[in-house]
């Protein structure tokens, strides 16, 4: 691939489809290259080696593991442009956004390199004088992960960072649509000195086969998954067989609420970033907008004007803000939600042009009502349905009326309302007068069917550690 300066990042690639899977550019349909696929036996052998390597890795002082992670972090940052370009080529997001994801992904490595040294236990006041009680934290063992195509690097580092910092070894299956970024970022880990058996990237014949191996293998003690609620539920059921620990970051249906006391320009800016980041393909994207009737027209007009400034196209081109969606079936799903809403009475504020290839013209829909299909489904595309509301009680009921509970957003300048609404929203994350909430220093995760566990922050490493209680008697 000529576009990549540091060709060592691509050393994993195989020459043909006989040994790998073809990876295509969603902007052009062109085949970019072939990522290696492992046989079932090779994956099983890899897990055995991972288990052996984990013991040595866990025995290293946390500071030494942290130092290797720091080196990995530096190499990822040094290779930001190449990794960003590779990501745009295989995933489609605009170059600036892809480079932004590289930095975001690297931030998890850096954060957990630092946290490695802080996996403190506790001493506990004993109930009787002859005992001394304490806890220590230990790595769970071999951890595995299944990661999605929408954030080909950050969703891996957000799991690998804490796993390796905790002293676990780590085996990840990236999405078959975006494996090149995954293998490339792992290549930098090896260059940093992290052993190949400690961090493995594997692709199998198909995703289900690898999921089956991960959830049934007795040496794997932990599974972390980012993806749909439907698949997460299956993986949890499979993991129940031998009581594996799981972390699940699943679907969302984020409400974005604009109260009549909101700063409308700030709300529009927040709506743009929350809704249209990655062409609407994130689990935390605003999925449905509730706007107070008093400010509905103003918000819709300004929001649509901003949306008309988005430039759809190949993410490598200058000025493009919105790349393609990931597949033809994704495009069809998005379009059928738009068409269904229009049949039920919604209206596009500006005409939505039909584009070729995997491109979808961003659109704001007005006159949407809470009972429409588009409001209960995760859209995962650049479509913004806007609903009008009149009172806070009715609003909270509508906002919480979903099986999901990942992210939510609201705009208000009334401090009393801010606390009341923040507490009433049944979501793991709430953006208040803010549309971009993701950061390595805060706990990312959902409630209800949006998942279990938290990623990033000081909580993230606990997902990869067991607490052991030590009771010292005869004192
Ligand atoms: C996701 O869509 O799953 C992750 C989004 C983020 O980290 O901001």
pLDDT digit string, tens, across residues 45-84: 999 999 999 999 999 999 999 999 999 999 999 999 999 9
Total number of domains constituting the chain: 2
φ/ψ (deg, to 5) at 303: -65, -50
**Region 294-301: what's the mean pLDDT?**
98
Distance 257 CA to ligand 1 centre (A): 20
What is the predicted pLDDT for the residue at 17?
85
Atom of ligand 1 nearest to the CA of 104: 7
pLDDT band at 26 (very low <50, low <70, confident <90, very high): very high
Residue 279's region, left for phi above 0, alpha for psi from -120 to 50, else beta, is left
In a domain, 443, yes or no: no
Catalytic residue annotation: 249
pLDDT band at 475 (very low <50, low <70, confident <90, very high): confident
pLDDT band at 381 (very low <50, low <70, confident <90, very high): very high
What is the predicted pLDDT for the residue at 212?
97
**Region 290-295: what's the mean pLDDT?**
98
* Ligand 1 near 407 CB (within 6 A): no
**What CATH number does the domain containing 30 carry?**
3.40.605.10
In a domain, 438, yes or no: no
Distance 283 CA to ligand 1 centre (A): 6
- Residue numbers of the domain that contains 328: 254-432
As beta bridge partners, residue 138 has 466
In a domain, 439, yes or no: no
- Residue 244: both structure tokens together: 């594996």
Residue 241 pLDDT more than 80? yes
Interatomic CA distance for residues 80 and 109, integer angstroms: 14
In a domain, 116, yes or no: yes
Interatomic CA distance for residues 72 and 78, integer angstroms: 10
Residue of 150, 178, 435, 436 best suited for mutating to test ligand 1, as the one with most atoms within 8 Å of CB = 150
Interatomic CA distance for residues 144 and 160, integer angstroms: 9
Quote the pTM value.
0.97
What is the predicted pLDDT for the residue at 298?
98
Same domain for 79 and 197, yes or no, is yes
Same domain for 235 and 282, yes or no, is no
Per-residue CA distances from 337 to 275, 340, 380, 383 (Å):
16, 5, 11, 9
Atom of ligand 1 nearest to the CA of 285: 2
**Region 330-348: what's the mean pLDDT?**
98
Residue 2 pLDDT more than 80? no
**Region 384-388: what's the mean pLDDT?**
98
Same domain for 95 and 221, yes or no, is yes
Same domain for 246 and 260, yes or no, is no
pLDDT tens, residue by residue, 151-183? 999 999 999 999 999 999 999 999 999 999 999
- Please report which residue ranges of 241-288 form alpha helices under DSSP H: 264-276
3-state secondary structure of 438: coil
In a domain, 444, yes or no: no
Same domain for 160 and 271, yes or no, is no
The region of weakest confidence among 19-23, 85-89, 122-126, 283-287 is: 19-23
* Bridge pairing between strands 122-124 and 132-139: antiparallel
What is the predicted pLDDT for the residue at 64?
98
Percent of all residues in the chain with a pLDDT value above 90, rounded to a whole number: 98
Same domain for 276 and 217, yes or no, is no
Please name the residue whose Cα sits nearest to atom 7 of ligand 1: 438
Q: Are 250 and 471 in contact (CB under 8 A)?
A: no
Same domain for 337 and 193, yes or no, is no
HSE-CB of 72 using CA atoms within 13 angstroms? 32
pLDDT band at 18 (very low <50, low <70, confident <90, very high): confident
What is the predicted pLDDT for the residue at 397?
98
């Amino acid at each position: 691939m000529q576009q990549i300066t540091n060709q060592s990042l691509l050393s994993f690639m195989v020459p043909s489809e006989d040994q790998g899977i073809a990876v295509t550019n969603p902007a052009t349909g062109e085949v970019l290259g072939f990522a290696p696929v492992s046989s079932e036996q090779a994956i099983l052998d890899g897990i055995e080696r991972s288990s052996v390597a984990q013991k040595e890795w866990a025995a290293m002082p946390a500071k030494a593991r942290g130092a290797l992670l720091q080196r990995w972090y530096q190499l990822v940052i040094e290779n930001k442009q190449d990794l960003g370009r590779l990501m745009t080529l295989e995933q489609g997001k605009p170059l600036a956004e892809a480079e932004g994801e590289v930095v975001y992904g690297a931030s998890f490595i850096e954060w957990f390199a630092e946290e490695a040294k802080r996996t403190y236990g506790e001493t506990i006041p004993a109930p009787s004088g002859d005992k001394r009680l304490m806890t220590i934290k230990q790595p769970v063992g071999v951890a595995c992960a299944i990661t999605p195509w929408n954030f080909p690097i950050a969703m891996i580092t957000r799991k690998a960072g804490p796993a390796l910092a905790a002293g676990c070894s780590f085996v990840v299956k990236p999405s078959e649509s975006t494996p090149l970024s995954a293998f490339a970022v792992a290549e930098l880990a090896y260059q940093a000195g992290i052993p190949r058996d400690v961090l493995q990237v594997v692709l199998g014949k198909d995703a289900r086969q690898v999921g089956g191996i991960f959830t049934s293998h007795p040496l794997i003690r932990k599974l972390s998954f980012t993806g749909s609620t439907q698949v997460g539920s299956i993986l949890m059921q499979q993991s129940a067989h031998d009581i594996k620990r799981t972390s699940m970051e699943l679907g969302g249906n984020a409400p974005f609420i604009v109260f009549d006391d909101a700063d409308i320009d700030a709300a529009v800016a927040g709506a743009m970033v929350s809704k249209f980041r990655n062409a609407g393909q994130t689990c935390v994207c605003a999925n449905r907008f509730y706007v107070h009737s008093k400010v509905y027209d103003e918000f819709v007009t300004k929001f649509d004007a901003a949306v008309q400034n988005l430039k759809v196209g190949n993410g490598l081109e200058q000025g493009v803000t919105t790349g393609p969606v990931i597949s033809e079936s994704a495009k069809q799903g998005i379009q059928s939600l738009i068409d269904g809403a229009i049949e039920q009475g919604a209206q596009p504020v500006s005409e939505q042009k039909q584009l070729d290839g995997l491109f979808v013209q961003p659109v704001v829909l007005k006159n949407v009502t809470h009972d429409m299909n588009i409001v209960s489904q995760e859209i995962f595309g650049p479509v913004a349905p806007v609903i009008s509301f009149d009172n806070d009680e009715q609003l909270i009921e509508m906002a919480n009326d979903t099986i999901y509970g990942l992210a939510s957003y609201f705009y208000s300048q009334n401090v009393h309302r801010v606390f009341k609404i923040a507490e009433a929203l049944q979501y793991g994350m709430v953006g208040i007068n803010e549309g971009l909430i993701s950061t390595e220093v805060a706990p990312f995760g959902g409630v209800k069917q949006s998942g279990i566990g938290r990623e990033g922050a000081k909580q993230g490493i606990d997902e990869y550690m067991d607490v052991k209680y030590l009771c010292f008697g005869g004192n």
